[in-house]
Amino acid sequence: MTVKIQSRIINHSIPLRLCMNPSRYFALIPAAGVGARIGADIPKQYMQLAGEPMLMHVLDTFAEASAISHVYVVVSADDGYIADLMAAAPHLQGRVTVLFDGGPNRRDSVLNGLQAIREQAGDDDWVLVHDAARPGLTCALIERLIVALRDDAVGGLLALPVVDTLKRSDKNTQDARVAQTVARAELWAAQTPQMFRYGLLVRALTLAAAVTDEASAVEQLGLQPRLVEGSPRNFKVTLPHDVALAEMFLKEE
């Protein structure tokens, strides 16, 4: 496979603007982090899970989703792994474009990626932002999210209702004690993808203060993203013990 490098992009046939379709769906995967908490020698998105790098599972899922027009993955400017990953995945040719526009945090990486695809995406097109460290995503979950939100005025995200009893501690240390039991009614644990229209997402992230996900940026505009029930398998691999659980879900396939 020939890989062309142009304007800091590994270009795998970026699709031309389809003027006849006013609403398309793009996947944007920020993958510029290092995942320090997992204690690996390489960025965690490149760790092997069930025989493939974690990021490959995510790219494969979006590439297989028929509703997704194109997939963009945002990596750091000095990423030393993505070229080999893409070279080993000819089936992703024409479906995935690598953007070397990663920033120091998630917000900056997503916003940089959005700005990089300005010529490909219209303001009314949908963008599904997904964590590179959630390899348990399925095409069925992508379809569920799109069906639920395609006519929504705001957009939304996959999430799970909280079922555990929640405790607030008196301090953030190992010897903390319970300060309060928090009512779990109406609480949800956010997942990804988080799906919003391109124009709205750019505006929200440009104006937002510190945020940990796209939905919270949209909330700062005074809007209410919709919650769409996700799946326990779509959890974020963060700590070392998460690796075995992720492999269990992936091997079940």
* Number of structural domains the chain divides into: 1
pTM value is: 0.88
Q: Nearest CA to 158 among 122, 185, 131?
A: 131
The verdict on residue 26 lying in a domain is yes
Complete DSSP assignment for 57-83 = HHHHHHHH-TTEEEEEEE--TT-SSHH
Q: Compute the half-sphere exposure of residue 140: CA atoms within 13 Å on the CB side of its CA.
A: 6
- Reduced to 3 states, what is the DSSP secondary structure of residue 12? coil
Q: Phi-psi bin for 155: left (phi > 0), alpha (psi -120 to 50), beta?
A: left
Q: Is residue 225 part of a domain?
A: no
Q: Is residue 59 part of a domain?
A: yes
CATH number for position 60: 3.90.550.10
- The verdict on residue 178 lying in a domain is no
Per-residue pLDDT of the chain (253 residues; tens, 9 = 90+): 333 333 454 454 444 443 444 789 999 999 998 755 555 688 999 999 999 999 999 999 999 999 999 999 999 999 999 999 999 999 999 999 999 999 999 999 999 999 999 999 999 999 999 999 999 999 999 999 999 999 999 999 999 999 999 999 988 777 889 999 999 899 999 999 999 999 999 999 999 988 999 999 999 999 999 999 999 999 999 888 888 888 888 877 6
How many angstroms from the chain centroid is the CA of residue 41? Answer: 22
Residue 226 lies in a domain: no
Q: Residue 184 domain-assigned? A: no
